[in-house]
Amino acid sequence: MYTHLYEVVQERARALPDAIALGSQDGLRWQTISGARLLALVDRLAAELADEGVRAGDRVVLWLPSHWRTPVYLFALWKLGAVAVPFDREMNPEAGAKIFAAIAPRRLLVGFDEHPAWAPGCELTPWWEPGSRVAVAPPTPWAPPAEELAVVVYTSGTTGTPKGCMITHGNLCSQVEALRSTVPLDASCRLASVLPLSHLFELTVGLLYPLAQGAAIHYVPSRRGPEIARVFAEQRITHMLAVPQLLAVMGQAADERLRAALPAPVYRGLLALAPRLPLAARRWLFWPIHRRLGGHVRVFVSGGAALPPETQQLWERFGVQVIQGYGTSECSPVIAGGAADGSTPAGSVGKALPGVEVRLSAEGELLVRGPNVMRGYWQDPARTAEVLHDGWYATGDLAKIDARGNIWLQGRARDLIKLPSGMAVWPQDVEDVLRTHPAVKDAAVVAVPGPGGGATLHAYLLPALPPGQVNLAELIATCNGRLAQHQRLATASWWPEPDFPRTAMLKVRRHLLPPPDTAHAVQIESALAADDPVGQAIAGVAHAGAVRPDQTLAALGLDSLGLVELAQALEEKTGKVVADGDLKLEMTSEQVRALVAAAPPLAAEREPEPRGLAAFNAAPPRWPYTWGRVFRGLALPFDLLYRVTVPRTIILGAEHLADLPPRVIFAGTHHSFADMPLVRYALARSAARRLGPRLIVVIGGEGFIKAGLASAYGILAFGLYPLLQRSDREASLRRLVSVAATGAPLLIFPQGTHADPARERAADPAVEFRLGTAHLAAALDASVVPFGLAGTESVMLPGAPPGFRGLVVSGIPVWLRRRPLAIAFGPPLTLAPGESPQAFTARLQAACYSLTREAERALDPGRWRPPAPRSHVRDQVPRTPVAPRG
């Protein structure tokens, strides 16, 4: 059994050094970390943090996203004996400030591109790439530090007095050992992580336990349905840790899709047959559902809130085992869980974990004792004494325990609202904020169940002013700006009577408050909260201190990839569906606010399902660029046409094509449709000839998709990749990077359009290079070979001349003239450390423009002077420079 959490990564590196331990989206690439590399990064980062002054016993606040890098920081801190204090992304500003002051941290490590509202004026330490600051040092013997405390996790205590659970290494190590009895995991399992690592349920069950069991953990960038489905498919996910709301939404969407696709008798027959089959057979029975989830998912683990029995039954009907866990942060957090063999009755949270004792108080409250129970609340002995008595923790949950030891929860003994999202809200937190408004005399907050297992918060208000004088929506939006994301109100209404129903002690009798009347409730627009979540998202992505309403996204320095990042940030901040294709660079921040305000909530999102050829074009599969290269022979007619049309091809700089690195991008000027054949021809007659059949040619996707069968031919014959610029931009970019990461070279024309050479010479901004090549080079860690070409605009016009009546293929006029062509390659360029995409793009453009002029001189015998000792290839004639004819 482990005694210290650092031992988990040590043992993982020893037992499975090469197997994937962690994975996440890293820019456009999916980055994976092996067990051996994880340990090496932890050791190097620990040395770097020690250089920053972090010592045993220091508290370090972590405000970090769910990403492979976050566990590295956690284990590095634990190796040093430091105490991690994870903060949620949308921490309540007032509560966060009090926690920060109480913890007095040594460092505040930040992984988001913004300044947290709860730490105004505090010094931030932006996180860095682990291992990038110190040289590799020889390993030194490690002994467990004396500090037993591992994390301080703050629960949803009231904003006035937040509660920090002190969780020790021993607490968490006991959980790793005990979970083996309820959640089956081994080295063949791949876990999708969708909950934040600031949530103790995710930290324990989603990180520590899977690592110890040899499973791979993949962090899903967001909780959007399409994003989850993508990661499930790409990473072949077998297990997922989730909250009931997510499972309910995913299950209902899958059931609705299946019901719509099948005749009613067939659908009913499947439902009747499923219970008679084992889980594995059910997965074959409902193969359309599993195909969308990658075809490997076997187990869901639910926690954070009560799981509706119908949600569990729905997924198990589809062949996915659902294991429900129960716990509290004070218990590290798991107290009980369903049996691994599926024998736990639906509706029960299962039996207590091995080593954990449970009993009921005289009032029916569940009490817990065991190695998982916290040390106490940080600097709060009074409230520690309220819940800990002789080692027994009082959960505040009413329960019953049946003869087999299964625990059945009966309700809350306190007022805490447990949302299906896994977050918890003390209603008095929200009510305290509402009471500070001069128009509010008193407030009462209740949870309102929604469709698909979701829930929202509603506020009943007693007015301090005549209600007709107050804009209720603006009032709530102002108050929402002072609350964390999960605490924000969705609806509100004035209470119709003079006072709320109260006890003799004047406490509100919440159970007597009815569900709100939708006809009189005001819907609150989350995008218009007083803290301006839209402005925060834009400023964070643009790295700007503030954003004016009239500033466009382009003026703030965003590009097409920046729109992808902004869409995700807006969804996280507002809970609205914002596709990257909805955003345009010419939009002002005020227009973005209007767009988000009109967008549907994330819970209402449904993934479009392309069919037939449209699906092939919108998201081309990987095979045309891997084994599908056997179809490149379809390009033979066009290769013959090139030989007939172009009498001579001059190739300059061919020496730069020898000994190219494993990942390479060819990028240059773009004058006509003849450019691609010229590049292909030049590569085939150089030291890079082996790259020709593997070449992926990146082109604009929207117009290409409309070409129908011709576009499919272009993909198979030439390796064309339709990169979408509007809808599905992010998915299109990611697919391109995943294919190119296998070593396939890319051909890109960064101007994005046919450019008149005269406009290049005049430095016309309309034909300047775009930033995409720089982003792809960074994502792939690739070198960029610049090139310039000349003469193609004379061989094949960019567009049809007036009165053209000839052949048009896929919108391309087949209008050819016999002319010689020239192309010049330059030495490969690489991104310098710290170089911005703008600076690299300017450097690349300057190189390509210079090479274009050199190629133009090669076509003009009167002006060309061969720049010895550069090579010069004229078809397959000796290397002596010879001026072309004609």
15-66 pLDDT tens trace: 999 999 999 998 888 999 999 999 999 999 999 999 999 999 999 999 999 9
The pLDDT value recorded for residue 421 is: 65
For helices 225-235 and 244-261, give the axis angle rounded to 10 degrees: 80
Average pLDDT, stretch 148-174? 85
The pLDDT value recorded for residue 279 is: 93
Whether 140 shows a pLDDT value over 70: the answer reads yes
Asked if residues 186 and 121 have their Cβ atoms less than 8 Å apart, the reply is no
In angstroms, how far apart are the furthest CA atoms of the chain?
104
The 10 Å Cβ neighbour count of residue 493 is 18
Give the model confidence (pLDDT) of 515-562 as tens digits: 888 777 888 877 767 677 888 888 877 777 778 888 888 788 776 667
Average pLDDT, stretch 242-267? 87
Give the model confidence (pLDDT) of 639-659 as tens digits: 898 988 899 999 999 999 999
Residues 657 and 686 in one domain: yes
Residues 576 and 539 in one domain: yes
Question: Above pLDDT 90, what percent of the chain?
Answer: 47
SS3 166: strand
- CA dihedral over 796, 800, 806, 809, signed as positive or negative: positive
The domain boundary, picked from 524, 552, 569, lies at: 524
Q: Is residue 273 part of a domain?
A: no
Q: Is residue 193 part of a domain?
A: no
In whole angstroms, give the CA distance from residue 496 to residue 520. Answer: 10
Q: Look up residue 356 and give its DSSP letter.
A: -
Across 229-233, 376-380, 729-733, 759-763, least confident range = 729-733
pTM of the model: 0.78
Residues 481 and 577 in one domain: no
Alpha helix (H) residue ranges in 549-627:
560-574, 589-598, 612-618
Whether 705 shows a pLDDT value over 70: the answer reads no
Which residues have a Cβ under 8 Å from the Cβ of 310 and sit 6 or more positions away? none
Residues 551 and 502 in one domain: no
Q: Is residue 573 part of a domain?
A: yes
Whether 613 shows a pLDDT value over 80: the answer reads no
For helices 35-51 and 69-80, give the axis angle rounded to 10 degrees: 60
Across 141-150, 167-176, 239-248, 626-635, least confident range = 239-248
More confident residue, 816 or 457: 457
Residues 837 and 772 in one domain: yes
Average pLDDT, stretch 724-749? 80
Residues 512 and 562 in one domain: no
Q: Is residue 513 part of a domain?
A: yes
Q: What is the CATH number of the domain that holds 563?
A: 1.10.1200.10
Which residues have a Cβ under 8 Å from the Cβ of 135 and sit 6 or more positions away? none
Average pLDDT, stretch 717-731? 76
Residues 504 and 542 in one domain: no
Which residues have a Cβ under 8 Å from the Cβ of 854 and sit 6 or more positions away? 652, 788, 824, 867
In whole angstroms, give the CA distance from residue 608 to residue 611. Answer: 10
Structural domains in the chain (count):
4
Q: Is residue 805 part of a domain?
A: no
Q: Is residue 242 part of a domain?
A: no
Residues 674 and 542 in one domain: no
SS3 736: helix
Comparing C-alpha atoms, which of 614, 534, 547, 605 is closest to residue 574? 534
The pLDDT value recorded for residue 175 is: 97
Which residues is 397 bridged to in the sheet?
Answer: 412
Average pLDDT, stretch 509-520? 81
The pLDDT value recorded for residue 385 is: 95
Residue 369 banded pLDDT, cuts 50, 70, 90: very high
Average pLDDT, stretch 823-847? 93
Distance between alpha carbon 357 and the CA centroid of its chain, in Å? 39
Quote the tokens at residue 861: 């015998």
Average pLDDT, stretch 262-291? 93
Residues 517 and 540 in one domain: no
Whether 623 shows a pLDDT value over 90: the answer reads no
The pLDDT value recorded for residue 812 is: 59
The pLDDT value recorded for residue 342 is: 83
Sort strands 783-790 and 664-668 into parallel, antiparallel or unpaired: parallel
Quote the tokens at residue 390: 């002789």
Q: What is the CATH number of the domain that holds 93?
A: 3.40.50.980
E strand or H helix at 679: helix 675-684
Average pLDDT, stretch 350-374? 95
Which residues have a Cβ under 8 Å from the Cβ of 802 and sit 6 or more positions away? none
Average pLDDT, stretch 810-814? 58
Asked if residues 31 and 24 have their Cβ atoms less than 8 Å apart, the reply is yes
Whether 320 shows a pLDDT value over 90: the answer reads yes
The domain boundary, picked from 571, 604, 637, lies at: 604
Residues 498 and 544 in one domain: no
Asked if residues 192 and 228 have their Cβ atoms less than 8 Å apart, the reply is yes
In whole angstroms, give the CA distance from residue 671 to residue 228. Answer: 41
In whole angstroms, give the CA distance from residue 752 to residue 700. Answer: 7
Q: What is the mean pLDDT of the chain?
A: 85
Q: Is residue 105 part of a domain?
A: yes
Residues 36 and 115 in one domain: yes
The pLDDT value recorded for residue 605 is: 46
Q: Is residue 220 part of a domain?
A: no
In whole angstroms, give the CA distance from residue 500 to residue 59. Answer: 43
The domain boundary, picked from 524, 548, 582, lies at: 524
Whether 277 shows a pLDDT value over 70: the answer reads yes
The pLDDT value recorded for residue 699 is: 86
Asked if residues 571 and 577 have their Cβ atoms less than 8 Å apart, the reply is yes
More confident residue, 308 or 108: 108
Backbone angles phi, psi at 110, to 5 degrees: -120, 130
SS3 371: coil
SS3 788: strand
Asked if residues 364 and 410 have their Cβ atoms less than 8 Å apart, the reply is yes
Domain that holds residue 456: 426-524
Residues 452 and 563 in one domain: no
Whether 836 shows a pLDDT value over 50: the answer reads yes
The pLDDT value recorded for residue 17 is: 97
Whether 798 shows a pLDDT value over 80: the answer reads no
Backbone angles phi, psi at 225, to 5 degrees: -55, -50
More confident residue, 564 or 206: 206
